[in-house]
Amino acid sequence: MPLTDAYISDLERNERWQATAENKHGFTVVVMRGCPGALYESDYYTLPLEVALPFTRDGIRHQFMSGELRLLRGSVPEAESQIA
C-alpha cells in the first residue's frame, strides 16, 4: 500500500528519518533508523515495511546498490559512498 504525501512529510520530519527512496515497483518508501535503546537501534527499517526484519548497514546498502531502492531525498551516511 503506497504511503500518502502527508505521511511521508511527517516521517521526513522525524529525527529517525534517513532517506526517502523509490522501490523497484515504483512506490515511495521511507528509510528510518531503529529506536534508541531498542534491540535493533543501529539498523534500518523501510516504511511501509518491505520485510519483517530490520536491515543492517550492509543490508540497506545492498538494497540501494542492487536497484531495489533508488534514493530520492536524504542519505544513509554509513553506506553513502556506496549508494551515490
Q: CB under 8 Å to 24, separation ≥6 — which residues?
A: 67, 68, 69
User: Strand runs (DSSP E) across 1-74, as ranges?
Assistant: 17-23, 28-33, 44-47, 69-74
Other Cβ atoms closer than 10 A to 5: 9
User: What pTM does this model have?
Assistant: 0.82
Tens-binned pLDDT, residue by residue, of the chain (84 aa): 678 999 999 999 999 999 999 999 999 999 999 888 888 888 999 998 766 678 998 999 999 999 999 999 999 876 665 555
Q: CB under 8 Å to 77, separation ≥6 — which residues?
A: none
